[in-house]
Amino acid sequence: CKMSKNVREVFRLDELKDDIRRNMVALLGNDPRSKRKFSYYNALAYSVRERLVDLWMRTQSDYYDSMAKRVYYLSMEFLPGRFLMNYLTNMGIVDECREIVAELGFSLEELEEEEWDAGLGNGGLGRLASCYLDSMVSQNIPGYGYGILYDYGIFYQSIVNGNQEERCDNWRRHGCPWEITRLDTLYEVKFYGRSETYYDSDGNVRFRWVDTENVMAMPCDILIPGYGCSHVSNMRLWTAQSSREFNLSDFNRGDYIGAMHGKVMSENITKVLYPNDQFLQGMELRLKQQYFLVSATFQDILRRYLKQHTSLAALPEAVAVQLNDTHPAIAIPELMRLLMDVYGMGWDVAWDICTRTFAYTNHTVLPEALETWPVDLLGRLLPRHMQIIYEINRRFLEGVAATFPGDTERLSRMSVIQEEGGQRVRMANLAIVGSHTVNGVAALHSNILQTGLFRDFHEYYPRKIRNVTNGVTPRRWLMQCNPALSRLITQSIGPEWCCNLEKLRELVPLAEDSAFRDAWARAKLENKRLLSRYVLRKVQMGINPNTLFDMQFKRMHEYKRQLLNVMHVISLFNRIKDNPSADITPRTVLFGGKAAPGYYQAKLIIRLINEVARVVNADADVAGRLRVAFLPNYCISQAEKVVPAADLSEQISTAGMEASGTGNMKFALNGALTIGTLDGANVEIMEEVGAENIFIFGLKAHEVAEKRRSGYNPREFYENDAELRRVMDMIGSGFFSPDERGLFSPVYDSLMHHGDYYMLMADYRPYMEAQAAVDALYLDQDQWVRKSILNAANMGKFSSDRSVMEYARGIWHVEPLGK
């Protein structure tokens, strides 16, 4: 579409082969005659990257010259996956590169497989950040991602005897050709110490933070090329370096090892990504990581701003900061500290600047995921920030009390300080108070924020809490991961869809064209064949591409209800065993996802999936009609293989609990049909594709809430449904764990004896019925393919380009830079 006229010239493709050879020798020190794939991958990567540096510099000086307002996306997580194919896709040189690489004796795909994923995030929240960077730069919105360069990303998952085992993800062990390390730019980040009062020359009381322990932050840039490459931006990831004078007194005292110990400890800050999502433990090191990101980032933001401004008064006109969840919310007191203690402003002016700079995105309503920090911990690590938080809260509560006189309950609910069970700082409350806009990530979720979780705040600040529905980048999640379907779409409606996803609507009439349907089905089948080969390689299991591919890939969590899916699988198994000649739709049920290492119940469900798979796959009666597999180590590069091959996408969380989901969008965009609850963005997916093209079942969010209030009795469903009873009894009695009969009792008990918090028992029968409708439709391939096309055709809304433009216009107040 807006791809530049002549990529061969712009990217000097005639010289690419020579550059690859040159980099083999000059940068990698390899024998040019070497045939090592890894060397060629690296040499190609460097040769591609060097073609973007000019464009990057030019983009950055455009931003500078136009004094454009900048967006800073602050996130503890980014999940970019692999870079190579994304660079080539956005540069528009995939086919050209494939030829050149072939001339060197390789296939592009085999070199692609040499790259290790950048797994600097847990799941949805981190991947969203990466999609938003792609969409910002592709639409000429001046934005940067700021995060942490963890030495170890999300752990590598393997399955041993059916159980998850974690291994460390040493992703840069063999180097990373994409990173540009700025050894010469270092910022000092302070910790501990105390806040000291003094009088300035005008006699005003001022504060300074003294006796601190200091760590240096070094930036490492990774380029983010926009689609069509008219703009190139970057994410800036910080790595901790000990400061040179660290523990100088220990050195002077002759305690060399003691002093070195301090140095080593300080570099631990960026060692490892915390692998929890949705569950918080208050670890000091985690808070250090958060402040490390925030402090380094704000020094960088203010340095850049002050190159072009003499006063900080106009900061909100030049800078928008988006907080990706509360993880970087310590930025609010940090900016207050900088403005007051370093730049000498008074409270009111500083506070006004602050609240016009920040916006906060909430990604969860699960109570166990809401961040709170013990006051004594925060006060010890960041004493000056703790003072500022108290003062923010004092002034805030004064305002609330004036609006709602005498409502002390409300004051204690809204307070930034939680008093029950030892004082803690509620980071969400801090983020709401310190931001001009708070957004949820899907319409239903934002409604729940307004009427449930943040209801008091919504009453106090009626326009602050809004919605921006999530999106995914169509470049990585269709164009790049699904060449077969992309080619067909482009042949049929032209290439514009990839930067204007609404164009996919032009596929709607083609759903009635039988030749197009055949071509669509062929593309899907090709993807299913490729995935089958991958499954064979990874788990030594043959799967049949002509069966229905039923997929649930996401982090393992009770609220996401992988267990409900397993219960369906067991039911199908029983039906086949009862009636071996039954006419059933052949299915392959695939699972993937990591469990947080300390999440016992989620790990047990992984084990259950594997034991059910063992029983089902070994059974002769079942053969050819039902297969089950758990693919280890779900990650971005695996998602790129799984998503294009899905027929059915499982989005079955308890209604009201999944903030949005983005996997749901990726699957539907690639022509999968969704089976799901009315939760998160599923609601909006149904609105877009039409109720007749999606399998919706189960309790609605308000019904879940009502049932919780009125008393929910899971046993009632057990008693009234023989098929369900049988499934539960098999799990509970050890049918799937004959050597360890009680193995799955905790799974049984959580539903039968501990209240079934996620209401699987209530949704079992409706889910079974929805699955029966899936089976019936799949037998009518013509109808199925029609609906598959209509799903992809109606995904325009879920482009992250749309999401980012809503943030830009409605929250950041920036416009795309003219070109």
Nearest approach, Cβ of residue 71 and ligand 26M (Å): 17
Enumerate long-range contacts of 632-635, CB under 8 Å, 24 or more apart: 632/157, 632/158, 632/159, 632/538, 632/539, 632/592, 633/156, 633/157, 633/158, 633/592, 633/594, 634/157, 634/553, 634/554, 634/592, 634/593, 634/594, 635/81, 635/117, 635/119, 635/154
Q: Which residue lies nearer to ligand 26M by CB, 555 or 603?
A: 555
Using alpha carbons, select from 86, 162, 158 the residue that is nearest to residue 117. 86
| DSSP assignment of 335-397 | HHHIIIIIT---HHHHHHHHHHHEEEE-----GGGS-EEEHHHHHHHSHHHHHHHHHHHHHHH
Could you tell me if 147 and 153 are in contact, meaning their C-beta atoms sit under 8 angstroms apart? no
Identify whether the C-beta of residue 186 lies closer than 8 Å to the C-beta of residue 116.
Answer: no
Kindly name the residue from 51, 327, 476, 554 that is annotated as catalytic. 554
CA distance 570 to 178: 46
Annotated active-site residue 666? The verdict is: yes
Looking at the Cβ atoms of 662 and 771, the one nearer to ligand 26M is 662
Cβ proximity to ligand 26M, 124 vs 162, nearer residue: 124
Q: Is 5 a catalytic residue?
A: no
Shortest reach from residue 736's CB to ligand 26M, in Å? 29
Structure-block tokens of residue 127:
């991947």
Give the residue with the Cβ less far from ligand 26M, 42 or 297. Answer: 297
Q: What totals of helices (H) and strands (E) does the chain contain, helices first? A: 34, 23
Is-contact 99 33, C-beta < 8 A? no
Least distance CB 565 / ligand 26M (angstroms): 17
Shortest distance, position 369 Cβ to ligand 26M, whole Å: 6
From 662, 674, 787, 802, active-site residue: 662
Q: CB 124 → ligand 26M: shortest distance, Å? A: 3
Considering 70, 384, 528, 555, which one is annotated as catalytic? 555
CB 207 within 8 A of CB 196: yes
Measure the CA angle with vertex 737, ends 736 and 741; round to 5°.
120
- How many other C-beta atoms lie within 10 A of the C-beta of residue 181? 14
Query: Which lies closer to ligand 26M via its Cβ, residue 119 or residue 123?
Result: 123
Residue 557 falls in the annotated catalytic set: no
* Strand-pair category, 358-361 with 437-440: parallel
Catalytic residue among 666, 786, 787, 802: 666
> In terms of CB distance, is 150 or 767 closer to ligand 26M?
150
Structure tokens at 328: 């970087």
Q: Which is nearer to ligand 26M, 637 or 651 (CB)?
A: 651
What length does the chain have?
819
Whose CB is nearest to ligand 26M? 124
Least separation in angstroms between CB 765 and ligand 26M: 26
Q: Cβ of residue 553: shortest distance to ligand 26M, in angstroms?
A: 14
- Tell me how far, at minimum, the Cβ of 52 lies from ligand 26M, in Å: 28
Which of 51, 363, 476, 625 is labelled catalytic? 363
Residue 595: DSSP 8-state: P
Q: Verify whether residue 363 is a known catalytic residue.
A: yes
Whether the Cβ atoms of residue 57 and residue 17 lie closer than 8 Å to each other: no
Give the binding site for ligand 26M (CB under 6 A): 122-125, 128, 274, 276-278, 280, 286, 327, 363-364, 369, 441, 470, 658-662, 680
Element spanning 165, H or E: strand 163-167
Nearer to ligand 26M, 69 or 327 (CB): 327
Q: How far apart are CA 130 and CA 224, in angstroms?
A: 9
Closest to 193 in 3D by CA, of 167, 172, 214: 214
Catalytic residue among 436, 560, 587, 594: 560
Q: How far is the CB of 706 from ligand 26M (least distance, A)?
A: 23
d(CA 784, CA 648): 11
Minimal distance, residue 635 CB to ligand 26M, in Å:
14
Q: Count CB neighbours of 456 within 10 A.
A: 18
| Residue 86, C-beta contacts closer than 8 angstroms, at least 6 positions apart | 80, 134, 225, 475, 476, 480
Whichever of 287 and 488 has its CB closer to ligand 26M, that residue is 287
CA distance 806 to 340: 32
Q: Residue 560 catalytic? A: yes
The residue to which tokens 């409706």 are assigned: 766
554 is catalytic: yes
State the Cα–Cα distance between residues 813 and 171, nearest whole angstrom: 37
Helix (H, G, I), strand (E, B) or coil at 233: strand
As annotated, the active-site residues are 363, 554-555, 560, 662, 666
